[in-house]
Amino acid sequence: MIDSRRMWQDAAKDVSWHRQPSVLLDDSTPPFYRWFPDGEINACYNALDLHVEQGRGAQAALIYDSPVTETRRRYTYLELLDKVARCAGLLQQLGVDKGDRVLLYMPMVPEAVIGMLACARIGAIHSVVFGGFASKELAVRIDDATPRVILSASCGVEPARVVPYKPLLDEAIALAEHRPEHCLILQRPLQQASLLPGRDLDWLSATESTAPVPCVPMRANDPLYILYTSGTTGQPKGVVRDTGGGIVALKWSMKHIYNVGPGDVYWAASDVGWVVGHSYIVYAPLFAGCTTLLYEGKPTGTPDPGAFWRVISEYRVKVMFTAPTAFRAIKKEDPVGEYIDRYDLSSLQSLFLAGERCDPYTLRWALEKFGVPVIDHWWQTETGWPICANCLGIEQLPIVPGSPARPVPGYKVDVLDEAGRPVARGDIGALVLRSPLPPGTFTTLWNAPDRYQSAYFERYPGYYETGDAGYIDDNGYVFVMARTDDVINVAGHRLSTGAMEEVLADDEDVAECAVIGVADAIKGQLPLGFLVPNTATKTSAEELAARGISRIREAIGPVAAFRLCVVVQRLPKTRSGKILRGTLRKIANNEPWVMPATVDEPQVFEEIAQTLSRLGYPPE
């Protein structure tokens, strides 16, 4: 049994403090726990200055690869430090002070990383909103964070189109009640934006003439950033990450979970707008002295299903981290892995998957094709780093498809029933984390401490409610089966939609799938399955659906009452790749719903609605 207190004391010694903390944990006002409360530290210093001072300024810190613009760029630690320090100086000239908010509305370009680190350098709190977000949703976040300055770009670039950002930003500012004092705009060659005199500045020309500034010491519990995550009430839910705990936990995770260190090339194929981008594109790899990759492209179509393998081969990536949905997209286009054989992937030592449940079939496919550990791990925006993982830097455990392995040291996971009682091993229930949560997890919600307490800690006193359902087996492996809302009740039997998805995905002709619960007058609920076929399949839609029904009957039994199964060409997803099961369920059950702000392709909802209509859903 690992002594968590000793572990975090030791981990805190591995980062650079302006003032060493003498107190490990302030637990006087639960659930508002505070780690290292009397310490002083700076995130940018630990990410950049420290490595330059240690003599590694010439090492690559950031590699930018953009197949959509055919651009490649490398920044050493010394070069990145200079650009960040100048951007920080400009922000100070624009009146940004310690504790002020700066909102970033940026594409996947180096300036997004530079802007985030510049804020950290001077103690400003950054809030990154996914580039291309709708104006109305952006306006809501502007009003909640009340930024003094907004950092943005003239446009973003998708494989088939240019997305003008500046008009979206201008409309959002017009809709918002709060008015930023300045906007710093990166003019991209593909599309120039008109600048508003007195408010807007050209990023490149303004920063080039600015003198660099030093780091500002921050209290350990000062906010590093606000990151908005999806909520159920329509109100923004701004997750707050503190500075000291975030540095300690993220640096610890790079060595002990991912088994990487200084000089290793680490690639998180995500977006800076999501928590993965914050934690594992920007901060953690730089804290650890790695070379981090910023990729402006897709897993397929930029230009083909070999896009990821080209990047791994070209930059000698040691560890890759992406979402299972990316692999399902690749597998759909290249089920036999023809493109994999075109590249030298000998540098790759492990592959990590997160963001959504990894079905066992996709995991086995990746294991077979790459011959390296494929680690499914589980965490959330709120936790900021993994809850459960196969920690390669401690001891590699046997890989069990369908499970993100055991809790990471520092986390204690339990499974409770609806009354808050522990369930037996193997029984499904609500997955909860014992308080206090470890360093690096969220400390509150921005402007909403009461909601922080009621939404996460009220239902199960002494625990953080993850919102996920699952079970723990006899070997201590955690199985995350579904969101708690996706555990359906069929004639009194509580069944996991995730377990059904596992069965459906274990068909070589199925690229991906989803199962939701729909209302039924007799049984209460019935499962409805959606199957997306592989591109190369010769199996008819009718045969594939019938096969899915048969598979569920064989694997789970008649109790599942699984007789509704349809084939669709695609599923509605967020831009981070999560299937919008909750919205599908609301449409099928004729419940009120709104178009999610983060949906990738809104038109897919019309296709799904037509499919549901043919089945008689929503009911009259």
Q: How far apart are CA 91 and CA 65, in angstroms?
A: 27
| pLDDT attached to residue 247 | 98
**Structure confidence at residue 288 (pLDDT):** 98
* pLDDT value of residue 592: 80
Pick the last residue of a domain from 435, 470, 505. 470
Q: Which of these three, 470, 499, 518, is where a domain ends?
A: 470
Q: How many domains does the chain have?
A: 2
Do both 499 and 584 map to the same domain?
yes
Backbone region of residue 57 per phi and psi (left: phi > 0; alpha: psi in -120 to 50; beta: other values): alpha
Number of Cβ within 10 Å of residue 59's Cβ equals 16
Q: Which helix (H) or strand (E) holds 329?
A: helix 324-333
pLDDT attached to residue 580:
83
CATH of the domain at 516: 3.30.300.30
CA 524 to chain centre: 34
In a domain, 290, yes or no: yes
Does 233 have pLDDT greater than 60? no
Residues 443 and 587 in one domain: no
Asked if 158 contacts 113 with a C-beta cutoff of 8 angstroms, the reply is no
Higher-confidence residue: 518 or 189? 189
Query: What's the pLDDT score for residue 177?
Result: 97
Q: Is residue 231 part of a domain?
A: yes
Q: Rounded mean pLDDT of 361-380? A: 92
Question: Does the pLDDT at position 615 exceed 80?
Answer: no
522 with 458, same domain: the answer is no
Q: How confident is the model over 142-160, as pLDDT tens digits?
A: 999 999 999 999 999 988 8
Q: Are residues 461 and 586 in the same domain?
A: no
Task: With respect to residue 369, please indicate whether it lies within any of the assigned structural domains.
Answer: no
The answer to whether residue 41 sits within a structural domain is: yes
437 found inside a domain? yes
Q: DSSP label at 393?
A: T
Mean pLDDT of 263-276: 94
Q: What is the pLDDT of residue 421?
A: 96
Distances (CA, A) of 146 to 125, 195, 594: 11, 21, 25
The answer to whether position 363 is within a domain reads no
How far from the centroid of its chain's Cα atoms is residue 558's Cα?
A: 36
Poorest-pLDDT segment among 11-25, 201-215, 297-311, 320-334: 320-334
Name the percent of the chain lying above pLDDT 70. 95
Cα(229)–Cα(243) distance, rounded to whole angstroms? Answer: 19
Mean pLDDT of 304-315: 97
- Does 339 score more than 80 pLDDT? yes
Q: What percent of the chain has pLDDT over 90?
A: 72
> What three-state secondary structure class fits 125?
strand
64 and 9, same domain (yes or no): yes
Q: Indicate whether 132 pLDDT > 90.
A: no
Instruction: Check whether residue 555 and residue 441 sit in a common domain.
Output: no
* Claim to verify: residue 9 and residue 139 sit in the same structural domain: yes
Q: Closest by alpha carbon to 444, among 464, 414, 415, 468?
A: 464
The rounded distance, in Å, linking the Cα atoms of 313 and 115 is: 29
Domain check: are 496 and 439 in the same one? no
Mean pLDDT of 264-292: 96
The pLDDT score that the predictor gives to residue 21 is 98
Per-residue pLDDT, 30: 96
> What CATH number is associated with residue 385?
3.40.50.12780
Query: Is residue 228 over pLDDT 90?
Result: yes
Question: Considering the domain boundaries, does residue 399 fall inside one?
Answer: yes
Residue 119: which domain range?
4-297+377-470
Quote the pLDDT of residue 553.
84
For the chain, how far is it from start to end, CA to CA, in angstroms? 57
Residue 120 has pLDDT above 60, yes or no: yes
For range 242-253, the mean pLDDT = 98
Q: What pLDDT digit, counting tens, does each position of 564-598 carry?
A: 898 998 888 876 677 888 888 888 887 887 776 66
Residue 493 has a pLDDT of 65
457, part of any domain: yes
Provide the pLDDT for residue 537: 87
pTM for the whole structure: 0.86
Query: Across 493-593, where does the E strand assignment appear?
Result: 493-496, 510-520, 524-533, 564-567
Decide if pLDDT at 508 tops 90: no
Instruction: Determine the average pLDDT of the residues in 222-239.
Output: 80
Answer whether residue 410 shows pLDDT above 90: yes
Give the C-alpha separation, 459 to 291, whole Å.
42
pLDDT surpasses 60 at 450:
yes
Q: For residue range 71-111, list pLDDT tens digits in order.
A: 999 999 999 999 999 999 999 999 999 999 999 999 999 99
Q: Are residues 122 and 245 in the same domain?
A: yes
Distance between CA atoms of 93 and 151, rounded to whole angstroms?
14
Mean pLDDT of all residues in 295-313: 95
Structure tokens at 578: 């999560």
- At 575 the pLDDT is 67
- Domain end marker among 440, 470, 500: 470
Verify that 466 and 507 share a domain, yes or no.
Answer: no
Co-location of 420 and 498 in the same domain: no
Residues 61 and 180 occupy one common structural domain: yes
Whole-number Å distance between alpha carbons of 26 and 28: 6
**8 A C-beta contact, residue 372 and residue 352:** no
Model confidence pLDDT, tens digit, residues 40-66:
999 999 999 999 999 999 999 999 999
Q: How confident is the model at residue 367 (pLDDT cuts 50, 70, 90)?
A: very high
